[in-house]
Chain A
Amino acid sequence: MIDETDRRIVNTLQDGFPLASRPFAIKARELGIDENDLISRVARLRASGVVTRFGPFLNAENFGGGFCLCAMSVPQDKWATAVDLVNAQPEVAHNYRREHRLNMWFVLAVEDRDEIAGVARRIETATGLAVLLFPKEREYFLDMRVSA
């Protein structure tokens, strides 16, 4: 379980982490707790999986790379194998099960946007299932933050 202080930490650190010699000390002061307390809480939030990532978030599009949302329709008897095969690809940044005939939705993140089609073909060959590509044609607004 996470307490009120943990929630404040999650909300504050979604917005940004300082580039400074003692960044935890700066954030701890803002939160009104001490540096060691913040460090041990961040370590615990990370270890328990409340925070899945802590660090720089790359925008691949600004160095020649790209992202692509993909979907597959995976029959139940092939589900476990398909999860293993798809997740084993380093280009798969995240993968969600969804309630739909298209039941597996994942995002490919590549350093060279020309690689997307090839990675999708590799997954089709490995799984024997079709991969539908849903590249972003336009982004309207992006605010990944949620309120904890």
Chain B
Amino acid sequence: MSGRERSLDALDRAILEATQAGLPIVPEPYKAIAEHVGASEVEVLARLQAMLDRGVVRRIGFAPNHYKLGLTCNGMTVWDVDDDKVDALGEIVGVLDFVTHCYRRPRHLPDWPYNLFAMAHGRTRAEVLDKRARILELLGAACRSSDILFSTEILKKTGMRLARRAREEASCSD
């Protein structure tokens, strides 16, 4: 039995499936979802609150398109940091206000020596390069090499989609 069966029942799934393309943009959006899934509005609100409390839902809100807000520069900065120092330094880099996410990930040697990833956004490349320089100062001698990968195009941005049962079964029989 997998974790999702333990924590998402049929009504949870139905609510998430009904909202994953977006909340209805109407005065009473949860009532519209309730009608769609055949539950009461009170129950839909309670289920969503419970999923927020369990962390199944991280938050309810907007994901903006950075490009359309003028943050046309997005640089994924990557760093080769000493293994015994990467966690302490990652915590410091992660709280910088211009870093939206910061992770430790595996290296792929010899081509990819970088184990620390920090995403920086800005209005110009110069602004993002300045942010990279500030991260470098913090990392100091613990960093052996680094690179920056500017994004040039969003190819897809839909977020996570729950699989329909039918498709899941089809893909299992592939």
Contact = CB atoms under 8 A, between A and B. Distances in A.
A51 B106 contact: no
A54 B26 CA distance: 13
Given A137-B105, A141-B95, A21 B152 contact: no
Contact of A98 (B48, B51, B151): B151
Contact of A62 (B30, B55, B65): B55
Interface residues of B, number: 82
Residues of A contacting B: mostly: mixed
Contacts of A111: 4, 162-163, 168
B56 A63 contact: yes
Contacts of A63: 3-4, 7-8, 56
B58 A21 contact: no
A97 interface: yes
A135 B103 CA distance: 9
Contacts of B27: 22, 24-25, 35, 39
Interface in B110-142: 111-112, 117, 121
Interface of B is mostly: mixed
B51 A48 contact: no
B76 A105 contact: yes
Given A15-B61, A49-B65, A136 B149 contact: no
B2 interface: yes
A139 B101 contact: yes
A120 interface: no
B158 interface: yes
A98 B56 contact: no
Interface in A1-20: 2, 7, 10, 13-17, 19-20
A141 B99 contact: yes
Contact of B90 (A2, A140, A145): A140
A50 B68 contact: yes
- List of 7 A-B pairs having minimum Cβ-Cβ separation, nearest first: A64-B3, A140-B94, A141-B94, A109-B160, A95-B155, A95-B156, A140-B90
20 contacts: A22-B28, A35-B27, A45-B62, A50-B65, A52-B157, A53-B157, A53-B159, A54-B23, A57-B60, A57-B63, A58-B20, A63-B4, A94-B156, A94-B158, A95-B157, A101-B111, A102-B112, A122-B174, A136-B104, A137-B105
